[in-house]
Amino acid sequence: MLKSIIKKEILLNLLSYKFSIIIALSTILILVSIFVMYRDYCLALENYEYEILGSKSENPPAVIPPIPLSIFAKGLEENLCRSYESGRVGGIDVSSTQKSVNTLFKLFTTPDLLYVIKVILSLCAMLFAFDIICGEKETATLRQSLSNNLKRPTLILGKWIGGFSSFIVPFFIAVLLGTIFVTLSPMVDMNPGNLLKLGLFLLGSVIYLAVFFSLGLLLSCLTHRSSTSLVISLFVWAMLVFLIPNLGNILARQFVEIPTVQQLELQREQIQIRTEVEVKRLQTWPEKNKAIERANSEREMLAEDYRNRFNRLVTVSKNITRISPAAAFTFLATDIAGTGMLEERRLKSAFLQYLDTLRNWNEEGERPAFAYQRSSVQDALGLGGLSNCLILVLFNILFFSGAHVAFLRYDVR
């Protein structure tokens, strides 16, 4: 019986107007997004090569190459591919990014696959599911189905499997086409490691989309008219995808007080100037050295305090926003792709360690070079990645069991 229900649900979807419009939209968007981001990646690669080429004769700056997975989940890649150099007053000079030249990029969001899945496909998943139960009630086919020897759990499970598979298969085909295009491109090195990460990213996407499908199903079981279900579905979607993640960011700042970067830079500069004056006044070199050391440690303390506060801000923000599956998915996807907060933190601490190595280098032998390896799959899943995945699974279980319970008591008349 389960098979018949799945088959019926798939057929019903395939023949609907909703299916054609949603599939056309998502396929076009996925392909456009992959193509646009591929060109963006090529430009980033070009920039990286120029950066390396331009610094052959000088001390090379610390810079890492762009990762091919940024085509799918750009995340913080633009920031990660900036070059870092030791600057004045114990500060760090950061190069400007390609995007900083066209100011319009600041106004809008990056249209990568992550964005398409997180925002548009999640909406499509809800549109697929919002009338699964109440729609059938309105057309009076639900009561006919249940008047046969058919268990309600079988019916709802069949509807879930049939509906979700008819939604997810075209998505996979579009992504597959895009991936083939990217893999065949000579500019992109999609090694097995990257393919494994891409596989995990897609698995995460399926779990994420299943959350919204289950949520749509739950709302369909809680309402008796598809128009009501649709209105509620759209509001819940807007809350989960836009409201909570975006609100969490500003809410976290209310709990953790953090000075602006400008203030930090100004304080550093002041310490430096004070020290210059003091050093000039002092007579002996031991005294001067002492003053310089004191200033250095003062600056380091300032930076460390700022970074500690900042890490606390990120943790609080992460915890608040993870109430939303969209935020949990963003963290999961960007961490897997190596373009997320995890990578940012790792890269920055690696550079700070490198600065320490440079300070201890006594100018004998070759100058130490900056070496950095992006996080592996284990790293990404170990440091919070798995918990994000578990949150998504938990949402799925919660929404599906909610739908199941609601459907058991659903009045089909």
Partner 1 sequence: MLRTIIAREFLDNVLNLRFMIGLVLCLIITVACMVILAHDYRQELADYNHRVNLQDEFLRNYATRSRILRMIPTQKPPERFRPLIIGMSGDETSNSFDDNPLPILFPSLDFLFIVTIIMSLLAILFSYDAITGERESGTLRLVIANSVPRTTILFGKFIGGAASLLIPFILALLVGVFYINLNPNIQWDGSAWSELALLTAASITFIALFYLLGLMVSTFSRYSAISILNCLFLWVLLVLVIPNVCPYISAQLRRVPSIKEAQRRDREIEIQSIRAAEELMRQSAKEFKLKYGALFSEFESMGSGSEPQKATQQRAQADPKFKSMMDAFRQESEKATQELVRIRGEGQEKLWGDFNRKVAAQTRLAKNLACISPLSNFVYVARDLTGTGLRSLEYFDQVKYEYSGPSGPFWKQVYKKEEEARKNDPTFREDTSFLDLGDYPRFVFREEPLKDKLGEVLPYWGILGLFNVVFFAAAFARFMRYDVR
Residues 187 to 206 in contact with partner 1, rule: CB under 8 A: none
Query: How many C-beta atoms lie closer than 10 Å to residue 218's C-beta?
Result: 25
Which residues, 6+ apart, have CB-to-CB distance to 16 below 8 Å? none
Q: Which residues within the stretch 233-292 sit at the binding site for partner 1 (CB under 8 A)?
A: 234-235, 238-239, 242-243, 245-251, 253-254, 257, 259-267, 269-270, 273-274, 276-277
**Would you mind telling me the total number of residues written for the chain in this entry?**
413
Q: How far apart are CA 3 and CA 22, in angstroms?
A: 25
- From the CB of 193, what's the least distance to partner 1, in Å? 24
Q: Is 54 in the site for partner 1 (CB under 8 A)?
A: yes
Task: For partner 1, give the closer residue by CB, 293 or 304.
Answer: 304
Task: For partner 1, give the closer residue by CB, 84 or 395.
Answer: 84
Query: How many C-beta atoms lie closer than 10 Å to residue 213's C-beta?
Result: 26
User: Which region among 28-36, 177-185, 293-301, 379-387 touches partner 1 (by CB under 8 A)?
Assistant: 28-36
Dihedral angle over CA of 307, 309, 315, 318, nearest 10: -90
The per-residue b/e assignment along 176-196, b for 16 or more CB within 10 angstroms, e otherwise, is: eebbeebeeeeebebeeebee
Total residues contacting partner 1 (rule CB under 8 A)? Answer: 102
User: Which region among 158-166, 182-190, 226-234, 390-398 touches partner 1 (by CB under 8 A)?
Assistant: 226-234
Task: For partner 1, give the closer residue by CB, 108 or 148.
Answer: 108
- From the CB of 1, what's the least distance to partner 1, in Å? 28
Q: Is 185 in the site for partner 1 (CB under 8 A)?
A: no
Q: How far apart are CA 276 and CA 295, in angstroms?
A: 10
How far is CA 299 from each of CA 197, 350, 352, rounded to the nearest angstrom? 39, 19, 14
Residue 100 DSSP code: G
What would the two tokens of residue 19 be?
């299916």
Closest CA to 77 of 374, 296, 295: 374
Among 11, 43, 140, 169, binds partner 1 (CB under 8 A): 43
Q: Is 349 in the site for partner 1 (CB under 8 A)?
A: no
Among 2, 27, 31, 51, binds partner 1 (CB under 8 A): 51
String marking each residue 94-123 x if it binds partner 1 according to CB under 8 A: xxxxx-xxxxxxxxxxxx---x---xx--x
Q: Is 305 in the site for partner 1 (CB under 8 A)?
A: no
Among 161, 279, 303, 412, binds partner 1 (CB under 8 A): 303
Task: For partner 1, give the closer residue by CB, 126 or 156.
Answer: 126
